[in-house]
């Protein structure tokens, strides 16, 4: 069996630096590989970080499909099928548009594959595989075999220690690509805590990245997980919602366990936009309080912001950047609103005749693929580009860093943000030399805990969690691929 993650279209373009595509290994495919027997031979190829050879003839080819790698995935599938190989396709885009995908496959998978892939393998061995396998009902990831991390080429990734301990999200935003994926069954469920901790114990080093869409989505699970992590000396990153950060003391427990940066979906400041998007978890929430609470805990923030919602006008870009800088957001991920196929947003815009293209290569959150309400497409794309330039300008990096208490905390912010955007030639050099592993100690140093000094106005790096100021070219508060199709 050959497992393939085709590169997103932009990853093959010389216009974009490769570090974005060298962050995380394809855990979904490595999870499926765990269901194979001891006598099966398997190869895992990530087209983003290695050369994909197409001159072989595997018995079975499994391809994971996102919206912006769909055309490349279909081309690879067609080539293998022409040689007589059995090809199966799964992933977000296949679930959203199964009729399109099935033209390029012998079998397609709709929804998460942990409950359907074992049945497919049994049917295949019996000589009667079905054309479609649909995940429905009471899904579970408890008792799964360990992820086949032996198939992952660790030296090609900045964050090889990525991990997923939950599936889905308890929220149901209209623009979210995941809602269709988990349709027909449970949309949020967790691993057993002891199994999650056992998986963590198997990972070398100290740094972890939880790729879960909402690490705090189950407070009971998260509380037990953080209790188990406390004292392990791990440094980790993850994602959570605005409301979960403000509620109770769970975020403090996460910080005590080793949380050092968090992806937070602020998305928009306009209540009309939030209501229209069904993002109720952000309504009437104090974004400034979120930023302060995380900053006081020494947790860096990767803020996610969306431009082009119906209430957005020409000043939304400057207002968003100014707020992010003023409140010490460490790194920002800006998006042009993108109506992914299979979402309620896409369906509504299609009914209104607002979808302007079905070229999936353009559904990358950098291009306008619909008719905005208060901006022209050119204004929206220009404003998006300007927001990135302004936020990561030297002046604003310094301004945002100085908003934190303590010189060490300010230095941590400065080198984190500057390292991500201002040292691109260094990243390119390290990636080409396949030496991303040498950056891990620097990442761990910059993620080390900042605590308040005895005077209450000065920070320090906790010597039990790392040393140094993190003065290095370091990565952002990394956003998971699951959150950016």
Residue 457 has pLDDT above 60, yes or no: no
d(CA 34, CA 175): 32
**What contacts 122, CB < 8 A, 6 or more positions away?**
none
> How many CA atoms are closer than 13 Å to the CA of 343, on its beta-carbon side?
23
Are 168 and 177 within 8 A, CB to CB? Answer: no
What pLDDT score does 294 carry?
A: 96
Whether the pLDDT of residue 44 is over 90: the answer is yes
Res 108: pLDDT: 98
Give the DSSP letter string of 47-103: TTTS--------SEEEEE--GGGHHHHHHHHHHHHHTT-EEEEESHHHHH-HHHHGG
Q: Where are the beta strands (DSSP E) in 30-152?
A: 43-46, 60-64, 86-90, 107-110, 132-134
pLDDT tens profile 182-218: 988 999 999 999 999 999 999 998 999 999 999 999 9
DSSP letter for each residue of 364-426? TTTS--B--SSS-HHHHHHHHHHHHHHHTSHHHHHHHHTTSSSHHHHHHHHHHHHHHHH-HHH
CB 67 within 8 A of CB 485: yes
Distance CA 303, CA 479 (A): 9
Q: Quick check: 20 pLDDT over 90? A: no
**Residue 262 is inside which H or E element, if any?**
strand 259-267
Percent over 90 (pLDDT), the chain: 73
pLDDT digits (tens, 9 = 90+) for 386-440: 999 999 999 999 999 998 988 888 988 998 898 888 887 788 788 778 888 888 8
DSSP 263: E
Q: What is the pLDDT of residue 392?
A: 96
Task: Specify the range with the lowest mean pLDDT, choosing from 85-89, 112-116, 400-404, 444-448.
Answer: 444-448
DSSP one-letter code for 213:
S
Q: Which of 128, 114, 284 is nearest to 189 (CA)?
A: 114
Domains and CATH numbers, the chain: 2-134 (3.40.50.280), 158-403+479-483 (3.20.20.70)
Classified as helix, coil or strand, 300 is strand
Which residues share a beta bridge with 460?
451
Helix-, strand-, coil-residue percentages of the chain, each rounded to 5: 40, 15, 45
* Cα angle value 167/9/239 (rounded, 5°): 30
pTM: 0.90
Q: What are the distances in angstroms from CA 158 to CA 26, 71, 356, 446? A: 13, 27, 37, 14
Give the integer Cα–Cα distance in Å for 65 and 54.
Answer: 17
């Amino acid at each position: 069996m050959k497992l393939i993650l085709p590169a997103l279209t932009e990853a093959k373009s010389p216009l974009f630096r490769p570090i974005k595509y060298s962050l995380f290994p394809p855990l979904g495919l490595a999870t499926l590989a765990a269901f194979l027997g001891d006598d099966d031979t398997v190869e895992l190829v990530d087209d983003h970080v290695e050369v994909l050879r197409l001159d072989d003839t595997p018995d079975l080819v499994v391809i994971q499909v996102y919206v912006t790698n769909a055309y490349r995935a279909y081309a690879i599938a067609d080539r293998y099928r022409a040689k007589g190989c059995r090809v199966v396709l799964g992933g977000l885009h296949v679930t959203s548009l199964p009729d399109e995908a099935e033209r390029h496959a012998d079998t397609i998978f709709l929804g998460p594959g942990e409950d359907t892939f074992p049945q497919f393998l049994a049917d295949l061995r019996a000589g009667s595989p079905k054309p479609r396998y649909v995940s429905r009902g009471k899904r579970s990831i408890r008792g799964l075999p360990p992820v086949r991390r032996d198939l992952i080429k660790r030296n090609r990734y900045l964050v090889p220690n990525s991990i997923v301990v939950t599936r889905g999200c308890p929220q149901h935003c209209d623009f979210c690509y995941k809602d269709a994926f988990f349709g027909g069954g449970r949309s949020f469920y967790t691993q057993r805590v002891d199994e999650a901790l056992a998986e963590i114990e198997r990972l070398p080093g100290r740094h972890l990245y939880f790729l879960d869409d909402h690490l705090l989505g189950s407070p009971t699970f998260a509380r037990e997980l953080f209790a188990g992590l406390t004292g392990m000396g791990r440094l980790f990153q993850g994602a959570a919602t605005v409301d979960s950060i403000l509620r109770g003391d769970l975020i403090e427990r996460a910080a005590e366990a080793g949380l050092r940066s968090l992806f937070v979906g602020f998305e928009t400041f306009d209540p009309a936009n939030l209501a229209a998007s069904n993002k109720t978890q952000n309504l009437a929430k104090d974004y400034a309080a979120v930023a302060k609470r995380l900053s006081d805990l020494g947790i860096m923030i990767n803020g996610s912001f969306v431009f082009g919602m119906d209430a957005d006008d020409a000043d939304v870009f400057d207002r968003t950047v100014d707020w992010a800088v003023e409140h010490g957001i460490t790194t920002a991920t800006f998006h042009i609103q993108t109506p992914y196929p299979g979402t309620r947003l896409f369906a509504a815009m299609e009914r209104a005749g607002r979808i302007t293209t079905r070229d999936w290569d353009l559904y990358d959150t950098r291009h306008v693929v619909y008719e905005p309400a208060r901006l022209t497409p050119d204004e929206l794309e220009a404003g998006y580009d300007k927001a990135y330039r302004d936020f990561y300008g030297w002046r604003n990096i310094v301004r945002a860093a100085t908003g934190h208490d303590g010189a060490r905390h300010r230095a941590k912010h400065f080198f984190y943000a500057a390292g991500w955007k201002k040292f691109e030639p260094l990243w390119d050099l390290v990636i080409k030399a396949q030496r991303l592993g040498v950056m891990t100690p620097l990442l761990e140093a910059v993620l080390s805990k900042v605590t308040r000094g005895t005077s209450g106005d000065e920070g320090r790096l906790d010597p039990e969690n790392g040393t140094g100021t993190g003065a290095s070219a370091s990565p952002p508060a990394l956003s998971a691929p699951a959150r950016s199709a």
